[in-house]
Structure 1
Amino acid sequence: MKNLSPILRELGAGRLSFWCPGCNDAHQILYGTGPGPRWGYNGHVDLPTFTPSIKVTWREPSDNPAEQLDDSKDIEKCCHSFVTNGQIEFLPDCTHELAGKTVPLPSFPLGWGTS
């Protein structure tokens, strides 16, 4: 992993990561040529723009202890955003508290991604 800037990491050739303050976790994209979905990247490590939008979905176990082992009770989660000029615009379909808001891309937490 290479620190390109406080807000952008290169995980490998054609793979970038940024910190999502809504999910409190890193998201990543693939860019350039190669297999799989690819995003456009403006090449600016301090004010990145990725196109098109980035949508991350996952499932979490129910908050109800009696339902935690029942996969059909899992809660659907979504983080959907545009990253433009170093700003992250969270779309309304996000399931976290930043849905509908635009904030600067934050720095990675101190020590994140280091051994």
Structure 2
Amino acid sequence: MDKMQLVSATKKLKHYVMEMDHIYEHARETGEEKDFYTVIKPFVDEVHFVLEEWGELAKKFIVTSHPKHLYIQQIDATIENIKEISVQAFFPKTSYSRFKHRLHSIHYILEKLHSEINENEFPQNF
């Protein structure tokens, strides 16, 4: 069950990260900032809910399965990066290079985790 939950949470985060990129591109094009309490906070809360579950499952996976080239520190950094860009995406004045660099780092870890899960035969409850 944990493996399926981790795969599901990873896919959800990939979707949210793609959505953050679209939100950021739209904000830069229009220069428009959204209302914090009606738009930004509900979105960030939704992402953080999935992120919390994902972080616990990803760390458990790393500790029990020992995938190559994937470490708990990378999961922690990814969690922090997602938390930051989930808010920054709504602000057109956010540094383009910093945002895109974080986005790239997040994509790399999510893809690496996803491929490690799929490449190896791990028990359902790792």
**TM-score > 0.5, shorter chain as reference:** no
- Give TM-score, length-normalised by structure 1: 0.23
Q: Which has more strand, going by share of residues? A: 1
Bigger relative contact order (CA 8 A; separation at least 6): 2
- Give TM-score, length-normalised by structure 2: 0.22
Q: Which has more helix, going by share of residues? A: 2
